[in-house]
Amino acid sequence: MSRAFRRLGHEVISFKWFHYFTDASQQASFLSGLLKRIQNKFVVGKVIDQINQDLMTLALTQQPDAIFIYRGTHITAVTLRAIRQQLPRCVLVGYNNDDPFSPTQPRYLWRHFMAAIPDYDLMLAYRHANLLEFVRAGARRVELLRSWYVPDRSHPVTLTPAEQGKFGTDVVFIGHYEPDQRMDHLEAIVAKGHQLRLFGPTKYWAKPLVRSALLQHLAPTSMVWREDYNRALCGARIALCFFSKLNRDTYTRRCFEIPATRTLMLSEYSEDLASLYLEGVEADFFRSREEMLAKIDYYIKKPDKASQVAEAGYRKVMRAGHDIDSRAAMLMNWIKEEIGKHHA
């Protein structure tokens, strides 16, 4: 997002807090590292105080027109109010792609974020379900900002023979494990004789895969990043998409990244996603395990049709403004509107 803002001609000053919880010193004690991890997990302690103090100091020094806080679990309402008092014309923007209102989310992680909602000038919702929830939580203004794809990371590539051996497959799923229908669906794909590749966090997939006679051969899973993530999508005839029930998702970032690679997306159905792609024309959807299997069989047997749908999906995602720069431009227009209010 910061790169996109710069491409649009804006000056960007970055402030990151992940390094507050790491210690490069070899002399750092185990206890010190443990205390930092506890503070990071439960969002409490001296490190959290330091992050907020440093953010406020940076804001007062640089005096930006806007502060965009991405996943502000560690930023307190007190800090935002102090910034507003000192910089009354600075626009405060909050964004988060997880669902802070989901009953499955731990309250301790989100308590600062939730308390600060009324102190942002603009809250950006990732999903439709959060729009009204932000309003009810006291948000001054709420807009829907969907996720995006990054063109220099998600794009069609031709794999080398070595890469094809590593990533080539009938079906791929890249994502985390959740205790929903995805294990059942993945097992059904293998049972039907289709080649399946699975990429995702090792620690979350380890136990489910060990318990599955059909999927044990896929363990251990591994993450794929940047070029390898792109190759993993490009190497598949079909890329699956499941929605996070923990986040009440009706679409995901992969709903833009998969078509951007000119790979056929076969996704769990939602009305929201069906409003973005024509079913069976620009992407395809399934509402049950049986429908998923039938469509996989169909596209494997009809590669020309699979290529046709993948190409149409690629053209749609290219022209519909789902890229990062288009999203950043939309956000900047909202920020400019808020700046205008502050200067009125």
Tell me the average confidence (pLDDT) per consecutive run of 10 residues in the chain, 344 residues long: 96 96 68 90 96 98 98 98 97 96 93 98 96 98 97 97 97 95 97 98 95 96 96 98 93 97 98 98 98 98 98 97 97 97 82
Tell me the whole-structure pTM to 2 decimals: 0.93
How many CB atoms are closer than 10 A to CB 278? 14
- What local confidence, expressed as pLDDT, does residue 248 receive? 92
Where along the chain do its domains lie?
Answer: 2-148+324-343, 161-319
How many CB atoms are closer than 10 A to CB 34? 10
> Where are the alpha helices (H) located in 75-173, listed in sequence order?
77-86, 107-116, 128-136, 161-167
Under 8 Å CB-to-CB from 146, ≥6 apart: which residues? Answer: 126, 251, 256, 322, 327
- What local confidence, expressed as pLDDT, does residue 107 receive? 93
Under 8 Å CB-to-CB from 335, ≥6 apart: which residues? Answer: 65, 66, 68, 91, 93, 122
Give phi and psi for 336, each to the nearest 5. -60, -35
Under 8 Å CB-to-CB from 319, ≥6 apart: which residues? Answer: none
- What local confidence, expressed as pLDDT, does residue 25 receive? 57
- What local confidence, expressed as pLDDT, does residue 233 receive? 98
- What local confidence, expressed as pLDDT, does residue 22 receive? 85
Q: Which two tokens stand for residue 252?
A: 């995901």
Nearest to 262 by CA among 175, 169, 158, 185: 158
CA 56 to chain centre: 27
Architecture of domain 161-319: 3-Layer(aba) Sandwich (3.40)
Q: Yes or no: say if 253 and 234 are a contact pair by the CB < 8 Å rule.
A: no
- What local confidence, expressed as pLDDT, does residue 146 receive? 97
Domain 161-319 in the same topology as domain 2-148+324-343: yes
Q: Which two tokens stand for residue 60?
A: 């007062």
Q: Yes or no: say if 93 and 335 are a contact pair by the CB < 8 Å rule.
A: yes
- What local confidence, expressed as pLDDT, does residue 189 receive? 98
Q: How many CA atoms lie within 13 A of 159 on its CB side?
A: 21
- Domain 2-148+324-343 falls in which CATH fold? Rossmann fold (3.40.50)
Beta bridge partners of 239: 172, 265
Distance between CA 234 and CA 237 in Å, rounded?
Answer: 8
Q: Yes or no: say if 253 and 126 are a contact pair by the CB < 8 Å rule.
A: no
Token look-up 């929605």 returns 243
Per residue, the 3-state secondary structure of 226-270, as one string, reads HHHHHHHHHCEEEEEECCCCCCCCCCCCHHHHHHHCCCEEEEECC
Helix, coil or strand: residue 271: helix
> Where are the alpha helices (H) located in 137-253, listed in sequence order?
161-167, 182-191, 202-210, 226-234
234-264: b or e for each residue (b if 16 or more CB lie within 10 Å)? Answer: bbbbbbbbbbbebbbbbbbbbbbbbbbbbbb
CA 116 to chain centre: 22
- What local confidence, expressed as pLDDT, does residue 32 receive? 84
